[in-house]
Structure 1
C-alpha cells in the first residue's frame, strides 16, 4: 500500500466519503470490540472553568486511548490477502497500541516504528499487545522513513494514524456516543494532531446537530492545523508534554474536512497543559496525558470563550509516564504556592537548623527537604546556607512562614521548586 500523499482533488474526493452514515456503520462494527466510554458531567471542572463541563473518558479504553477505534475500523477493512501480508504503522504511542492490540485480536502481524524518544510506558505497552516495535530516530518523520523502507521490503500494509477515511470513521464514533449521552451540548472541544479525531467527530456532530460548535486544540509548538485553517505558514518544533498531538505534517484529507466543518482552533501553552493534567488528577481523580488534557487546557486558556456553555471535552488518552505525572503535580503545587523552596543564609552554629525547623513547624508547615551547605565559596567561612523545601496549606500560609523566618533575622530567598525537588 503506497503512502504517497493524495493530490488536493483526490483528498477532497476522499473527504466527501466521510459521512454520518459511514460513521454509524463504523459504530456497528465497533460494538463489543471497544468500550463505549462514559460521558459524564464534571462539576469541579465546571467550577474551575466557568463552563458546564462534560468529559468523555476515552482513557478508559483497553489501550488507554481513543486510537483503537480508528485502528480497528481500518484493520476490518483489509482483504484476506492484505491481512496475510501484515501491517505497519508509525506512532508516538497511542495509535501504536491501538493497532497492536486489535491486530493481535484479529491474528494480523503488526510492526510499529516509533521515535526512540517515545515515552517508555507507551513502548512497553505496545510490545505487550504483541507488536514488533522498531525504535528509530528522534522524530516521527525519521521513524516514517524507516517504516517506508520496511513496508517496501516486506510488503506490509500501512495503517495511517490519521489521514485515512477508515480511521476517521472510527474516531467519529466518539461524537455519536457523546451526543447520545449528552444531546444538549453546545460545543465539542477536541485535541488535534494530524486531524483524524476532529475530522471524524466534526462530520458526525455537525450532521446530528448543525448548531453545535466544534473547536480544535493544538499546542503553540505544533500549530499545523491552525496554520492550514488560517492559510498561514507555521513552524512545528520543540519538546512538548503533549507528544500525542506533536504532529509536523497534518493530514491532507483531514485538512479538507476540518476546513469544512471545524469552527476554530485554539493554541495552548505548555504550562496550561500541565495545569489541565493536574486538574484532571486532583479534581476528577483520573489520569490524562498531555494530549488528553488539551481540551481542558483550551477552557483554561480562554475561559470567557466558553463561559456558561455546555462543553464536551474528549479526554482522549491517559498514557503518561508516572514520573512525569509526579513532576507535574509538584510543579503545580509550587505554582499554587503550596510547596515553597527557600534558601536561608545562617551563622554556622549549633541549634540554627533546629530553630528554623521549629519556626516552620510551629506555623504548621511541613518540611520535606533540607540541604545544608558550608563549602560554597560565596558563603562566609563562619556561615552556612540552608535550602529548605516545605509544604503549606495555601500560598498565603507559605508567605506567612517565610515572613516569620525573616522576623527572626534570617535572610530568605525563594528558589525554583522544580529544580530543588529534581
Structure 2
C-alpha cells in the first residue's frame, strides 16, 4: 500500500489564521495546555451561524432551524471521525472535560459503584479527574486508591498489580499530564483494568488536541476532552462512551430535548445522544468545534506531534542552560509539548509576571493538580506549553525572558537585603 508523503506543518501560513499574532512585537503564547487560540475559520463559522441561520435545533420545522440542526449534527460526526468512534451517537456534547467526567460519575457511577468498591486514580490527575471521584466516594462509601509516580515523572507501574483487584470498579486516568507532559501508557492500563472487570475513564484533554487518539484501538470505556484546547471555542466539550454503557446509563440532567414522553409522574427518555443533552445546547460552539476539528485535521495531527516534539526538545536544551532552573517531568521523548519548571529563589508568579511585560504568556500556579505539587514538593511551577502556531523564536524569547527575569529579580533581592 502506498504511504502518503509526510507533510510538515506550514507554521508561517498557520499563524496568519490567528489575528492575535499580528502584533508588534508578536505575542509568544505559551499557555496552550490551558486554552489554545482560535483561528479565523472557526470564528467565521460561528459568526455565520449567528448571522445567517441563528435558531434552535432539532425541533424547528423551518429552513434555518433545519440548517442549524444539520450543522450541529455534522460537528458530532466530525468529532466521531476524529477519535474513530464507531457511531456518532456515542459522542455526547457537554460544556467541557470537567462536565464530561462528572456526567460519568453521576450517571454511570451512581448506578454501578457501591460502598467498599474501589476507584483507582493517579497522583498526577487534574482536579477535573479527581474531585468528581472524591464526591462519588463520599456519596457511596467507595474507596479511592492512587498510583504514584517515579522521580522521573512516570507512573510507577510496579504498583498497578496490587492496586487492581476484584474490588476495583473504575480506573480514571489522564492520557497526558497537564503539568509534567507525561504520555501515559493508556492502552496497557486499560487492558489491566479490564482484566479485573473494571471500567476506564480517560481524561484526554491534553492528548486529543495534539496527536491521533483512537478509542477503538484503546478500547477505553469513556473518554473526555474539551474544544477550547484544540482551536475551538470555550463552552463545548465531548464525552465518548461505549454504546452499551451509554444506553444503560440513566440521564445526567432532566429537562427539554432529553425526553421521549412526559406524564405527570414519570417520563421516558430519548435515544442517544439526546438523552444526555438536556436543554438548548451550545449550538454555535458545537459548530465551531466541528470546524476546529477540520482545522487541526487539515494541518495534520502527525505533523503537529512532530512539530511539538521539535519545540519541546529545543526548549529542554535551552532552558537547561539557565543556572538554578529545575525542569519537571520525563525526557522529551516521553512527553507531550509541556515543560514545567521553577527558577531558584523566584516565585513562579513573578516569573510569569515579568515575562508578560515582554509579551510572553506562560502559566504559573498549581495547574489544578495540587496532589502532584505536593509529590513534587513545590507550591507551584511555571509552565510553557506548545501548539501548532508556536515557533523556535517563541522558545528563544522564553529563554531570553527567563534570563532577564533572573537578573531583574536577583537585583531586586539584593536591594532588599541591603
Q: Same fold (TM over 0.5)?
A: no
For normalisation by structure 2, the TM-score amounts to 0.33
Bigger relative CO (Cα 8 Å, ≥ 6 apart):
2
Between structure 1 and structure 2, the one with the greater Rg is 1
